[in-house]
Structure 1
Amino acid sequence: MNRLRLLSILFVALVMSALTSCSKDDDDSNPSSQALLTAKEWQGNKYLIDGDDMSSFIDIDQMYWKFNTNGTYTMRVDGDSETGTWELTSNNQKLLLDKNSADEVTLNVLKLTNTGLNVMYEDEDFETGESYTVEIRFIHD
């Protein structure tokens, strides 16, 4: 009888273990790109031009970017703010800002994690016409 009772207890323990280990995976373990982007406000951390760090020449840490789940954003730089619209395109590899407006711009998303956002775009010097690459790195505040 003791052996039967021991087997019953082991069977119950095995079933309970299987039920708890087979629970639904946590969906937040791999959040979507949109969830990562809209989770918190991003703060500027580094500003690169053609790979050269220019952060010391500007107050990059005074740049804040908040993406809202409704497709709008607010960017604050040195107390001034700007609003617009955003969407992720090209399999979340591009960030399209202010679609169908005069201010439309597409940023390449180099990195998007729960702690960092790196974007890059091509710009042009108005005086010389030369183009250069700008990379801005953000972190969560």
Structure 2
Amino acid sequence: MIKTTAKTLLQSLLLVILSVFIACSEDEGITAGVSGKLIGSWNSGSVAVTDITINGDDLATYYTNLGISPDLIEQIETALESEIEQGFQIDIEFKSDGTYTSTDSEGTDSGTWELTSNDTKVLFDKGTEDELEVNIVSLTESMFVGSFTQVDDSEDIDEDGINDELSISISITLNK
């Protein structure tokens, strides 16, 4: 049961991560400024999982409450973070018309992007079910560092008949 739960959690995490930049919609053009640095093609640099919670509890607390040993919890956490960090590869092109094209292991997709919050955030696919807001941590002509939290409540991780809320916070570095 533990391996099945961990495998289900891992599969859920991978689906969430792989679907982060995927959507299709239309939007009007964007404003100048920070957008000039974003426009162009970017490649995955590094990814770091900064936090994973289930139903508001950190991973260790959640699994401890299920009676799982600390050693196994550490193995689960390390495996999940490693799988996400190693498996997350994305190339994205920000276009000046406010659209983007992304390519990952699942294929190529496109959508819209815009700057929000005084040019401190990038909003992807506004108004769609795939909407995602990425905080701009650092941006230069050749490097973009962003952070975001993805929430998924479509899985029953502990198999109690109630879907659990999985929240993953990620920091991603892209290089031009």
1:32 partner amino acid? G
Partner of 2:11: none
Higher relative contact order (CA 8 A, sep 6+): 2
Shift of 1:139: 0.3
2:86 pairs, out of 51, 57, 69, with 57
Distance change (3 Å), C-alpha of 1:57 and 1:112 = same
Instruction: Letter of the 2:87 partner, please give it.
Output: I
Per-residue deviation, 1:92: 0.9
Q: SS of the counterpart of 2:36?
A: helix
1:77 aligns with 2:104: yes
Report the aligned-residue RMSD: 2.3
> Which residue type is aligned with residue 83 of structure 1?
S
2:165 partner SS: coil
In percent, how many aligned pairs have the same letter?
25
User: Conserved in 1, the CA contact under 8 Å of 2:44 and 2:173?
Assistant: yes
Structure 2 unpaired stretches of 5+:
1-31, 52-77, 158-163
Amino acid at match of 1:50: T
- The amino acid across from 2:46 in the alignment is K
Superposition misfits of 4+ residues, deviation over 6 angstroms: none
1:36 is matched by which residue type in structure 2? K
The answer to whether the 8 A contact 2:48-2:85 is kept is no
One-letter amino acid of the structure 2 residue matched with residue 105 of structure 1? L
Q: Which amino acid aligns with 2:38?
A: L
2 CA distance for matches of 1:56 and 1:121? 14
1:41-96 deviation line (CA, Å, top 9, x unaligned): 00001011117974763153xx2110000000000113711100000011111100
Alignment correspondent of 2:171: 135
Per the alignment, residue 43 of structure 1 pairs with: 43
> What does 1:1-141 align with in structure 2 at a 5 Å threshold?
32-38=33-39, 40-50=40-50, 54=82, 57-58=86-87, 60=89, 63-78=90-105, 80-124=107-151, 126=155, 127=157, 128-140=164-176
What letter is aligned with 1:133? S
TM-score by length of 2: 0.54
Larger-Rg structure: 1
| TM-score, normalised via structure 1 length | 0.66
Q: How many positions carry a matched residue from both structures?
A: 107
Gaps of 5+ in 1: 1-30
2: CA distance between counterparts of 1:95 and 1:56? 21
Match of 1:17 in 2: none
DSSP 3-state at the match of 1:34: helix
Question: Cα distance 1:84–1:56, how it changes in 2: closer, same or farther (>3 A)?
Answer: closer
